[in-house]
Amino acid sequence: METTNNIDYIQTVKEQWDNIQDKNVIGYKINGNTYISTEYAGNTTYQDVLLWLEDNTAEPMYTDDEIQVMEDKQAIWDAKHIGEEYKDTGYVISFTSDDAVGLMQVNSAFQLGITDTNIVFSNGTIMPINADDFQEFAIWFTEKRNAFFV
């Protein structure tokens, strides 16, 4: 199947490729059903993807079960990085390991006598917090983050 000469097809793949370049994903879904692994896609261009698709259209790269596993992992990654709103405050808190480390650093600052500060999260949220409210927030954060591991 000669796909690389069809301008509409090329433009579609290019747009899809451009849309996923900024995302940290496990596999790329191109044209609705073809997954390209992150390992393959690392430093490639949409032209490389077109050539790969042309050579690999007869067989899917992954089985349905493997695709399901990737989608499940992606959903967990998204949930950790996008986050959840804290107590109707408008602050959407992410739950990455970097966020957990930041929380421990804020706890240490409060133990040293700091009374208020801002917590900067991986998703870009900056939430002000004081020593009086920290424990309640830390418990909420820990329960939400732990949910990803049980």
The pLDDT tens digits of the residues spanning 113-133 come to: 999 999 999 999 999 999 999
pLDDT of the residue at 74: 85
The H-or-E segment that residue 75 falls in is helix 64-82
Distance of CA 30 to the CA centre of its chain: 18
* Extents of the domains making up the chain: 7-77, 83-146
SS3 3: coil
pLDDT digits (tens, 9 = 90+) for 5-51: 456 666 666 666 555 555 554 455 555 555 555 555 555 665 666 66
Q: Which residue is associated with the tokens 């032209």?
A: 47
**How far is the C-alpha of 90 from the C-alpha of 128, rounded, in Å?**
12
Distance of CA 96 to the CA centre of its chain: 10
Distance of CA 17 to the CA centre of its chain: 17
pLDDT of the residue at 48: 67
